[in-house]
Structure 1
Amino acid sequence: MNQQQLDIMKNKSGFIAAMDQSGGSSPKALAGYGVAETEYNTEEEMFNLIHQMRTRVITNSAFKPDKIIGAILFKETMRSKMEGLPTTEYLWQKKHIVPFLKVDEGLAELQEGVQLMKPMQELDSLLKEAQKNNVFGTKMRSVIKEANPIGIKKVVEQQFDYAEKIMAAGLVPIIEPEVDIHSQDKAESEAILKQEILKYLVNLADNRLVMLKLSLPDQPDFYQELIDHPKVVRVVALSGGYEQQEAVDLLAKNHAMIASYSRALLQDLQVEQSEAEFTSVLESAIDKIYQASLT
């Protein structure tokens, strides 16, 4: 574990940019950017276009470490280059922003009110790649749609089982059991989820650390107990489908919780914008999310 990166993640003000759209979510991200599906024919062409978008964001002058402390990458982005450097090296050496890697392989079908992660067939090889590329941590996502205690218990159990393997490789896992913001019993799900997470945190070895990426709770400061836990490096919020303004307004009500936003960060960026327009829009989004992360 890189101690300098750990110090940044534990102590520095700022937020984490989620730049990890995968094969399933990239078409939507590109469409939001103004690139229609008719503009590419193969998966390779799609990934090239999404990498061009990410490169434009990350290399922009507004994307800097005084407000952005980390960036979550998709594996294809980690394997690509920006301005002639491997993306993770560009982030860390040029920008001094801590790189993370998305390692999950998507969601399983809905059962018992939740979507577990599909089995991670390539986790071992991804962890080796991450180690070689100066990656600090990983991210993996499950989804909770109903306040089903059995399903939520399985989500947390699976997340921490994989987290043990990730921590053994010297990386810090971001555990993301997302509670669907449209759930009819969202607050009840959050209560069950918090208690299940606390059970696992108690049993973590002294040399084990995790991060948590959680939906913005119905009750402000509901996750303070997790934020204060000695085994938790940071608790970050996902935007979960909220528009930018609502995402920052809700985050500002949760003290010491910082953002890890994708949609709310990128939503107003367009491929046809001039560099000056693009920079201005990106700078505005970054500032709003940063200010909400300071509370």
Structure 2
Amino acid sequence: MNTAQLDRMHSGKGFIAALDQSGGSTPKALAQYGVLESSFTNEEEMYTLVHEMRTRIIKSPAFDSKYILGAILFENTMDRKIDGEWTADYLWDKKHIVPFLKVDKGLADLANGVQLMKPISNLDQLLDRAVERNVFGTKMRSVIKEANATGIQEVVAQQFEVGKQIFAKGLIPIIEPEVDIYSADKEKSEEILKEEIQKQLGLLDKDVKVMLKLSIPTLNDFYKELMSDPHVVRVVALSGGYGQEEANEKLSQNHGLIASFSRALSEGLAVTQSDDVFDTKIAKTIEDIYKASIT
């Protein structure tokens, strides 16, 4: 494990850029950027186009370690290069930004008010490649739709079980049990979720470290106790469908919680923009998310 990266993630100022849209969400991400599905005819062409989009974001002067601590990549992005360097190496060597990898394979069907992760059949091999590519940590997502205690317990138990496997490979897992922001009982779900996370943290061996990626809570500073747990490197927030302005406003009310935004980060960017317009737009976005993350 890279101790310089660990120290940066634990105490650095800034946020995490989520550039990890995978197969199912990639067409939506490209469409938001102005690249329609008619622009590609197969998966390889689609991934080439999204890599070009991510490369443009990463190479922008605004994508700077002054504001950004880390970046989450999709597997296909990890296996591609920027200016002749593997993407993770480029992020750290050229930008001093810590690379993460999304490892989950999507969501299972809804049961007990939640969506567990689908089985990750090749996880060991994927983690070995991540280590070879100098990735620091991983991210995996589940979704909580209802305040169902059984379902939430299953989600958290699954996340921590896989998280321990990831940590054993020398990587820091980002555990992401997302609470649907449109849930009718979101606040109750968050209460159950925090209790289950605290239980699982209490069961970890002394040296195990994790990160937590959570929906911005209904009650401000609700996850403050999790931030001080010795097992927790950092607690970060997903935008979860909030627009950029609303996500920043809600985030700024939660002290110590930093952003790990995807849609809110790329909002307003377009393939047709000149480099000057593109860089000006993303610079404003990054600065706004940064300000909301350092409260």
TM-score (normalised: structure 1):
1.00
- Once the two structures are superposed, the pairs formed by residues 1-295 of structure 1 within 5 Å of their partners are 1-295=1-295
Shift of 1:218: 0.3
Distance 2:93 2:153 in 1: 40
Shift of 1:222: 0.3
Determine helix, strand or coil for the equivalent of 1:279.
helix
Distance 2:130 2:90 in 1: 14
Determine helix, strand or coil for the equivalent of 1:117.
coil
Shift of 1:51: 0.3
1:43 is aligned with what amino acid?
E
Shift of 1:79: 0.3
1:85-117 residue CA offsets vs partner (Å, 9 max, x unmatched): 110110010101000000000000000000000
Distance 2:11 2:164 in 1: 24
1:29-61 residue CA offsets vs partner (Å, 9 max, x unmatched): 000000011111101110000000000000111
Determine helix, strand or coil for the equivalent of 2:286.
helix
Shift of 1:233: 0.3
Shift of 1:277: 0.1
Structure 2 spans left out of the alignment, 5+ residues: none
Shift of 1:134: 1.0
Runs of 4+ displaced beyond 6 Å: none
Distance 1:130 1:207 in 2: 21
1:72 is aligned with what amino acid?
I
Structure 1 spans left out of the alignment, 5+ residues: none
TM-score (normalised: structure 2):
1.00
Distance 2:23 2:49 in 1: 12
Distance 1:252 1:33 in 2: 26
Distance 1:164 1:50 in 2: 31
Shift of 1:279: 0.2
Q: Percent identity?
A: 60
1:112-160 residue CA offsets vs partner (Å, 9 max, x unmatched): 0000000001111110011111111000000000000000000000000
Determine helix, strand or coil for the equivalent of 1:18.
strand
Shift of 1:241: 0.4
Distance 1:41 1:267 in 2: 25
Shift of 1:267: 0.9
1:225-260 residue CA offsets vs partner (Å, 9 max, x unmatched): 101111100000000000000000000000000000
Distance 1:203 1:263 in 2: 34
Distance 2:179 2:291 in 1: 24
